Amino acid sequence: MLDFPDRLDAAVRRCQNPVLVGLDPRSEMLPEGMLPDRADPTPAEIAAAFGEFCRGVIDVVAPLVPAVKPQAAFFEEIGPSGMAVLAETIAYATDKGLLVILDAKRNDIGSTAAAYARGMLGPGQSVWGADAMTVSPYLGDDSLRPFVEVASQRAAGVFVLVKTSNPGGGMLQDLIADGRPLYRHVARYVEGLAVETAGACGYGSVGAVVGATYPDQLAELRSEMPQTWFLVPGFGAQGGTAGDVAGAFDEQGTGAIVNSSRGIIFAHSQAQYADRFGSSRWQEAVEAATQAMIERLRSETPAGRLGG
């Protein structure tokens, strides 16, 4: 199996776009008819609906995009049945040829970090089978090294939170330490790990989560982290635009994947798609929203060069 950065590079080039579809199922936003018609569906019924919904999204986007990103929290919220459906969703996406980045934002020290990594990383090599996962950096080097080691052994990847898209992220990430914002210290460390784990494409197995909602910092970090894959959240529902994410890419139009969750998977409830498709044709709305995002990124960012 190729190293993760090379598999991601190949998938982005094959699809000629960097779109990452977030799988964030929410019971109140599912298409009509997926949940029982009563006010109190059981966790098992919600889990079954989540599984049906995620499979439906995957069926639509698998021919179009390189990867999906299940958000573990929405599955964990409904307990054991939800966790079982998360595992089934990861396996289903893998079978459809998609790379799977598990958005779990885990971390701890020593043996606990290693257990998280062993359990989640590696298709066919772990119980969860994710190609990559998100982790928090704020416990330091000894909390990240176990993830890097397992990822390297299993041709998997790790995306470290560097500059997140949420409004409150700056409370800690922008604090000045030794004359530089804290997120830039994290960025320097992550770039070092990327260099250590670089694949044939030049990018490493260790990537960075850098939000679309801070375009100036995104461009700044691209220049400081030339061998780090970027996972860019915040596009669409959180306010990020194609223009905002343009600075995430290298000159060839690669080096970044851009996530959209609600803007794609719940497109049937958005004004521009509701009248055209409605809830009964929700998968067509997913396809239309995915294609619209692909076209925006191709026309307004260096990702348009992927098709050249």
What amino acid positions are annotated as catalytic residues? 105
Q: What is the DSSP string of the chain?
A: ---HHHHHHHHHHHHTS-EEEEE---GGGSPTTSS-SSS---HHHHHHHHHHHHHHHHHHHTTT-SEEEEBHHHHHTT-HHHHHHHHHHHHHHHHTT-EEEEEEEE--SHHHHHHHHHHHBSTTTSSS-BSEEEE--TT-HHHHHHHHHHHHHTT-EEEEEEE-SSGGGHHHHT-EETTEEHHHHHHHHHHHHHHHTB-TTS-BSEEEEE-TT-HHHHHHHHHH-TT--EEE--BSTTSB-HHHHGGGS-TTS-SEEEEESHHHHTGGGSHHHHTTTTGGGHHHHHHHHHHHHHHHHHHHSGGGGGG-
How many whole angstroms from its chain centre is CA 117? 17
- Burial of 280 by CB count in 10 Å (0-12 exposed, 13-18 middle, 19+ buried)? exposed
CA distance 81 to 206: 31
13 to each of 145, 183, 230, 236, 305, how far by Cα in Å?
29, 29, 15, 23, 10
Amino acid at 215: P
